[in-house]
Amino acid sequence: MSKECEIVQDLLFGYKDKTLHNASKELVERHLEKCSICKKILKDLEEEENDKENQEKIEEEKEIDYLKNVNKKISKKNKLIIIIGIILLIIILLNIGIFIYYYKEARKVQIYLEDDVTQEQLDNIESSILNIDNNAKIKYYSKEDALNDIKLKFKENANLLSGYETGNNPLPAYFVVETSFDNAKNLVSNMENIDGVKKVTGNFNLNPYLLVISNIMVNTKN
């Protein structure tokens, strides 16, 4: 290998990278025109650089694809977390609503009366209720009120009850009492033995979910 080849080969990296001064660049180009060996070395250097650039590009694309996949997985995971969170929130709110409704309805007691109940017995029943809970809200429904309430619930089919009037009304008069949850239990256990009382019912011993579902079904039918 000639001395000129050694000099040119030392300059090939700079020539390839276009960092040589004009004089050095011209020297390399003149030498390459007549030296196939140095020309082959330059070609190998350029191919090696191209291979390196291609490999770097491939690695970069792989890294980008990997990051995209990671972002997609994170995005899917975040969406799943959000969806699960929304579902849990709905379940929590639904349960809160159900138990609020339950404790409102569980405080109500229905006291159904005998058909021949007297005014004296009615007064005694109200007095007995207030003895258990002086703050209880008491509302009286006559037999006619009970019949009219049933007719309203039947709506379009109310004509089916047209044969029932005051004289042959099978529905009992009743009291609806709003009290505390504990007093509701006391009313049910203590009121049935009072004269004039036919039956006492309360909602406190019902399953909250069944109570809500049953009321929804009744209201839907109505």
Inside any domain, residue 221: no
For residue 118, the domain's CATH number is 3.30.70.3040
Instruction: Count structural domains, the chain.
Output: 2
Burial category of 14 from C-beta neighbours within 10 Å (exposed 0-12, middle 13-18, buried 19 and up): middle
Kindly report, residue by residue over 51-93, the tens digit of the pLDDT: 777 777 777 777 777 777 777 777 777 888 888 999 999 999 9
Distance (Å, rounded) from C-alpha 192 to C-alpha 109? 12
Distance (Å, rounded) from C-alpha 218 to C-alpha 222? 6
Kindly report, residue by residue over 198-208, the tens digit of the pLDDT: 999 988 777 88
Distance (Å, rounded) from C-alpha 11 to C-alpha 56? 25
Inside any domain, residue 197: yes
Inside any domain, residue 82: no
Distance (Å, rounded) from C-alpha 55 to C-alpha 66? 16
Mean pLDDT, rounded, for 162-172: 68
Task: State which residues form the domain around 47.
Answer: 3-66
